[in-house]
Amino acid sequence: MKNSIGSVLVCVGISLLGIGLAEASEIEKGKAFYEEKRCSLCHMIAGKGGQVGPDLSGIGSRRDRAWLLKFFDNPKKVANANMMPVKGSTEELSALAAYLLSQK
């Protein structure tokens, strides 16, 4: 009996670790995409980047995923922002949102 509870706990532990790792790699992909798209020409994160657009360091505390995905599609309509829509695959945009949401 003790053993089976132990195994269940180990299984739960491993799946949580799995989710953690999947999330970490999503954030890494988003960071790479952010660099590829040169977002830092206009935005600062943690003190690095340009000042044309707002500092995105705390963006994860100000915005949520749904807002970001809508914003990427049409910055002008969503925030009246003078910024080009962000073009990319669903996976790339989703990873980009995960990366920005990790900036708290």
Q: Does 27 bind ligand HEC (CB under 6 A)?
A: no
Q: What are phi and psi of 45, to 5 degrees?
A: -130, 125
Q: What are phi and psi of 62, to 5 degrees?
A: -95, -30
Stretch that binds ligand HEC, among 3-11, 17-25, 40-48 (CB under 6 A): 40-48
Nearer to ligand HEC by Cβ, of 10 and 81: the residue is 81
Q: Which residues bind ligand HEC (CB under 6 A)?
A: 34, 37-39, 41-43, 52-54, 56, 59, 62-63, 68, 71, 79-83, 86, 96
